Each structure stands twice: as C-alpha cells, then as structure tokens.
Structure 1
C-alpha cells in the first residue's frame, strides 16, 4: 500500500478485510458529526488483529476547531476531532493499524 493512498480508500479496504460473513453483523465503523462542531469516529476492533493492542490516548489541541482526541477502550478505537480534522484522525488509526499488522516485517 502506498503512503499516498487516500485514507478513505485505505479504510474501505481495512473494513472489507474484516468482513468475513460474521464480523460485519456485529461490528463496524461509524463516523458521525458532533455539535461543537466536529467529528466522532468509532471503529470496532473485536475479532480483528488489533483487538489485543492499545492506542495510547492522544489529546491534540491546536485551536478552537483544530483538535483531535483519540484512544482505544472496550475493544474500540475512538476519536473525536474538529470539523477539519477527520482525515487526520483516520490517518492516526491507519498508522497505528499498520504498525500492528501481524505480517509486518
């Protein structure tokens, strides 16, 4: 996978790779809006290669609308971010997922 690959294209591939006829019936990826304004991201990790890994909490606050808070808890990757930070939040997930890929080497 190219570093230049758009994060949404990568996320679509990651999601598709988890779909095995069972996973997608209970788990998934949710992207929603916040009213402050911003974005909320929830990516279920149960029954994926990431379920045993923790994403250390990151709290990046650069301005009123330029911020990201990301962490894992309860077998889920959670991120909340400012209205212009969705790509950055998903890129954090992609980097972490790639670092923890089992066949990485």
Structure 2
C-alpha cells in the first residue's frame, strides 16, 4: 500500500470514528480544487477530541506547483497545497491528530 493509499485509509477511519449520529450531519471533511492549480481542504474539529488543540501554522514553498500551507481556524484544520501535494497536506493532519498534545 502506498503512503497516499495509507493516509486516505487513515482519514476514512478518522471520519468514521467521528460519526456518532450527530457530528456528520453538521460537520465533516471537505476537499476541493483551487484554480491556480491546487487543492484546498477543511476538516471540521468541532465535537472531536481535537477541537481545542493548537496547531502551529505550517508553510512550505518549494516551487510554483510544489507547496503546502496548513493552519487551524474556526475549529477546523485547513490546508491549501499544490496539485501534487494533497497527500502531504493530509499527512500533516494525520501526524498532528495522532500525536499526543502536551
């Protein structure tokens, strides 16, 4: 299994774990495209064990098409990235979500 398949499988499991009969009706995971080109992602944290966790803004810019930016705002994990960086953005969320808060 490639890393991209692994991170998507992990995200599916994380999403299923949040679904409690209520959460999924108001919150969720949104992945969309940008026109520059690239990806945008929002993962709602409200009602999860992550909603009050801090996340230091991450920004990596390697080239016009190779970049990723991730941050927390309004009880959501946000990321925007280049067209080939969606797995990297998802991996930032997974790494943060699976690391114990200090």
Shift of 1:5: 7.0
How far apart are the structure 2 equivalents of 1:33 and 1:100?
31
Unpaired runs of 5+ residues, structure 2, are none
Where has structure 1 moved over 3 Å in runs of 4 or more? none
Q: TM-score, normalised by structure 2?
A: 0.93
| Alignment partner, residue 13 of structure 1 | 13
Which secondary structure does the structure 2 equivalent of 1:6 belong to? helix
Shift of 1:74: 0.6
How far apart are the structure 2 equivalents of 1:5 and 1:69?
21
Unpaired runs of 5+ residues, structure 1, are none
Measured on the aligned residues, the alpha-carbon RMSD in Å equals 1.6
- Residue 64 (structure 1) aligned with residue 61 (structure 2): no
- Residue 37 (structure 1) aligned with residue 32 (structure 2): no
How far apart are the structure 1 equivalents of 2:89 and 2:54?
16
| Alignment partner, residue 75 of structure 1 | 75
| Alignment partner, residue 84 of structure 2 | 84
